[in-house]
Structure 1
Amino acid sequence: MKTIHQSRGNDLAAYAAFLAVATHRSFRSAAVELDMTPSAISHSIKVLEQRLNIRLFNRTTRSVSLTEAGERLALKLKPAMAALDEALCDVERDDHVPSGTVRINASEGAIRLVLQPVLARFLSTYPQVHLDIVSDGRLTDITAEGFDAGIRLAEAIPKDMVAVAVSKEVRFAAIASPGYLERRGYPQVPQDLYRHDCIRFRFESGAIYRWELERQGVIERINPSGPLTLTDQPLMVEAAIDGIGIAFVPDHLATGALQDGRLQRVLEEWCPPFPGLCLYYSGHRHLSSGLRALINMMTEALVAK
């Protein structure tokens, strides 16, 4: 096997492709992470195998797995590549203008709440950074799907991720129009919701959101029924204003309608605040200068609120 001094210039990219496939066990996911096509990844691995005269992967139409030689190479290569990544990161920290593409996965609500307020200022401050923001209501595996970071509620972030708070506490509100409440009455306890028309929320995965209400440590999880199910929370607010039923949404979405009387809160004592949104990323991957700059601006905006 060649020494590092004898390796060709594009070997480093091939080793990065190898580690990405070894991590994801998928050429497609590795291609997303490295912003390459699956065919380019496959070609890179093929050339590397020919150069080393070793088969690194067992491939079938359904799976990709490491050979014994591939396992040994991955085990040795990971710390070496991590050390190189850290060295490059140190150089960046010294004097580097943030640049490159930063891919973010977040729900539409999170984008509107914590990203949209800083977008114009961030992009004008860092014109060499391109933000690729994907609106996604699923609990996406950001590492497998090739994202640099995600944004979701603190309680839903995998424990192996680094999380940075980017919003204050969040509070859900059960809301309905005055007209609806005059017709149907006010629910006094969560179980009363089963006798009301409720506007339900469906995740992109197809699952129906269960309402979670809490008072003095007592948690009630309600799966109410109703005439309308939506995948868009702002539309749920509009439906509640129209008198269709009771909706359960983050209260910042209904602030205006609550203030002007088009909506009223119900079961308010059952809707306490809880930890808000966090931007999160894998601690095993290099934190790019662009993502670091975005995190700094978002946390500064949070402190200023």
Structure 2
Amino acid sequence: MKRTSTRAIMEKNSDTSRQGSEQTKGRKTWVCRRLVLSGKIVATLHPVIGPLYWEYFDNSDCNAPDSYGITEHIESAHIFKSGSYRSSFDSFLSNIFSDAYADIYTDEWNDESGEPEGNHLLTSLAEKAGSTPSEFMQWIVDATWVEYPAPPKVYFLADFNGHLGYRAEWSEQVSDALHWDQTVFESDDLDEQLARTLGELVPIECAEEIPTIRRELSSVNHPLMADVAYTMHRLDLVGLGVDKWSVNYKEIACTHAARAGIDYVRSGDYGPISPHIVGFPMLLNVFNMAASLKRYEVNKNNLM
């Protein structure tokens, strides 16, 4: 039996609802949303431009290759689960470099300057940085990229049905969200049963509200954990029963060093830096980068 798309059903119901608006007046509309409150982004701080972030686009819905890039807009930064990029950190950065290379060097070359001409994103960022595209690409590769807390974000269930194999499609726009009425909470319809498991059902009028999250200082001794993980990396040691190829201790060390830098600023931004960090130039570099990003965020919020 041919299955009608969930969105088509919702649109049909919406039309019926408009026709009987007097009967449905005052009825509450519900949407399904997901809140991402503990995601991570990967960031660095450019001395001229300011913060830059990793960006990623899944183009599978249009049968095109995924695209990778750099953005100066935190709202466009790709959100990871903590540490989920670690196993592919180098490959992700390599993809960014490859896409940037293709983006820049597909344009015509200026014979006098030896640089490409064009208005692509990386070209415009290079102009903001006061460098050539080639110099800026090298800076991207050499920069210290750190894990940083992502701002809270909300996604709305836009479609899912048998034709999609019940793969949910999510949108950042509430205008794209599927609508339900109160019966969604008791319905035996397969789509509505699944909707109740995919996210939080909320009234549409408050769907875009994000609760205020107060991030407490961590009880974890991040400098010590960074030191331990980096020592494991340097000495090529592994924990009991742990396959050394399944754990990237260097990236774990960098994650803890970044958290140490953020907590240092949040706790007052003064006093000596832990010797667990200072003793290793790589950890100190990551610590300083994360602290600089936090200071930038604090100063920006103070000016708003």
Q: Same fold (TM over 0.5)?
A: no
* Category of TM-score, reference length = shorter chain: under 0.3
What TM-score results when the alignment is normalised by the length of structure 2? 0.21
Which structure: greater strand fraction?
1
